[in-house]
Amino acid sequence: MLSVFAALAFCILAANFQSAVVAQRPAPAAPNDDKANAIDITGRKVFRARYDTTGASIETDDPCISCCFFGVGQNDKTIWFVKTVENDGTVVRVSTLGSDYDTVVSVWDGSAGAPTGTGGPPCVNDMGTTELACNDDAGGTLQSEVSLVANAGDVLYIEIAECTGTATGFGGTAAITISQLRR
């Protein structure tokens, strides 16, 4: 009698587990999934946000990030921010520490417009697309952090991506802090 009860309990557990898996739906894309919809954070000294990137994608014209552990290339689950620097000698810091997936951060010169590239292989950035800073795996973590000095009028495109080496990442929750201070 005891073995029948144990088998019955196992069947109920399996049925409950199956229904939980079926109930999952993919997250919608972040509103700033494409650099054309980059969130403008000009004028903010500190910007903090959390984004679900599981529904984000890769755009065919995303630029080629130089510092991903897997090599130069486009990376998946990109979200974008844009900032026009207001003062000379401003230190801009971008961090994804606290994210729950493998991130890479790249900051691009936006003076010629949004950065663009061609996925390839080989991955090639278009003329006028200049990467100013890039980081993957800061401080022994899978998250990223960069700092750079910028001047008044500099336009910075900030790209947060998943470092996968392919276009098939899973994403996760990106914990983003973008801050500035004058030197």
The pLDDT, as a whole number, for residue 136 is 92
Tens of pLDDT, residue by residue, the chain (183 residues): 434 333 333 333 444 444 444 444 555 668 898 889 999 999 999 999 999 998 888 888 888 888 877 776 777 888 999 999 999 999 999 999 999 999 999 999 998 788 888 776 677 788 778 999 999 999 999 999 999 999 999 999 999 998 875 556 788 999 999 999 877
Phi, psi of 106 (to 5 degrees): -135, 135
The pLDDT, as a whole number, for residue 178 is 97
Listed in sequence order, the residues at least 6 apart from 176 whose beta carbon sits closer than 8 Å to its beta carbon are 47, 48, 49, 50, 51, 81, 94, 95, 96, 99, 160
Instruction: Tell me the whole-structure pTM to 2 decimals.
Output: 0.80
The parent domain of residue 144 ranges over 29-182
| Cα–Cα dist 66/85, whole Å | 23
Helix (H) or strand (E) holding 19, with range, is helix 2-22
> Looking at the 3D structure of the chain, how many domains does it have?
1
CATH number of the structural domain spanning residue 37: 2.60.120.380
* Residue 9 lies inside a defined structural domain of this protein: no
* Residue 174 lies inside a defined structural domain of this protein: yes
| Cα–Cα dist 142/154, whole Å | 29
* Measured CA distances, 15 to 1, 12, 19, 21, 181 (Å): 22, 5, 6, 10, 55
